[in-house]
Amino acid sequence: MTILNALFISRRPAVAFVAIGLFWGCFAAFIPVVKDQLGASDALFGILLLGSATGLVSSMWLAPKADKLLGDRAMQVGVVFLAIAWLVPHQVSIPLLFAFAMGLVGMASGLLDVVMNARVSELEAQTGKPLMNANHAMFSLAYAVAALTTGFAREAGIAPLWVFATVAFISLFMLPFLRMDVAEVPEDESNAAKYPVWPILICGLIVLVAFMTEAMTETWSALHIERTLGGGAAEGALGPAMLGFTMAFGRFSGQAVSARFSEYAVIYFSTALTALGALIAAWAQAPFVAYIGFGILGLGVSVIGPIGLAIVGKLVPAHLRTEAISRVAVLGFSGFFFAPLLMGLVSEAFGLRIAFTVVAVMVLCAIPLTYRAQGMQRG
């Protein structure tokens, strides 16, 4: 199946992936500005970003109930909530208020993330075709375009409010394409007493490792290039943009590769590639070499999280799919608790070179977890 076919089948959730990618890409490029505005150290900034993680995990836990309540309009409500929430964080200079504002962003992002991933998983079950990588690629592509464009906006002196207001305005035009019927799945009585704890836990940890790696790089790559390597604003923005573009390419490629090779084999190879890229970026002596490292990292990490979400959708009963994905998402996105804090503390103590070396070591944990998930599917 071609990438275009996959995107056509899942065109409605794909629009949601684009919307959420645009907002986070803008934020990644504005991080040096926001950090300076707050007057925060690396460690404090990492702690403040826990606000978004708190909101994210909280809303993801409640997302299955919200999904049932909102029905076919769940993605529309999620995008509107997200657009409104993103108008606040970059306008405040008081750390506590910033953390609270990011909490609202996290809640909106978490709700939309669970719903759109659940819709893709439903379509995978209905069609029997892999669709997750193509949709996550649309997030990465939108993220990269937004980060790069925002870098030039920073160079031109355009205020964050105007950038985020523009993205919010664009997102409103997406709303008609986001309405999607929800599949009604009857409960399988034979599996009623067998709640899939282990598939959720193992797949959740795989997604956790992937998203922690992604979050650390998204948030700190611009700072690494600007502070460690002496790059300018546009050069710094190219760090997260490079990550986004290569993740998009990796996910589009992963869409094709997943149709030909074992999903587990893809994760094994991608994990090794991610670790290599993190090490290259960590010890680069010039921005250009760091871009190569972040690019390799993006190619590798791009498919790990989406495949983890796809795997759990296959390991659990159909009527528990949305709930299982939300629980895996809670585990995975709890990395946004740990990633800013870990990166900030390590950077404060040892510098960003050591911090990105820690990223390389951490991502390798996905290998034994994937091996365990593979054993479950065989069983």
DSSP string, 323-370: HHHHHHHHHHHTHHHHHHHHHHHHHHHH-HHHHHHHHHHHHTTHHHHH
Res 337: pLDDT: 67
Domain 3-180+195-378 matching CATH 3.40.50.150: the answer reads: no
Average pLDDT over residues 190-196: 60
User: pTM here?
Assistant: 0.75
Q: How confident is the model at residue 336 (pLDDT cuts 50, 70, 90)?
A: low
Q: How far apart are CA 45 and CA 35, in angstroms?
A: 7
Choose among 165, 170, 183, 164: nearest CA to 74: 183
Q: How confident is the model at residue 53 (pLDDT cuts 50, 70, 90)?
A: confident
Report helix, strand or coil for 93. Answer: coil
Res 155: pLDDT: 86
Where exactly are the structural domains of the chain? 3-180+195-378
Res 239: pLDDT: 85
Res 15: pLDDT: 95
pLDDT at 282 over 90: yes
The fraction of the chain above a pLDDT of 90, given in percent, is 37
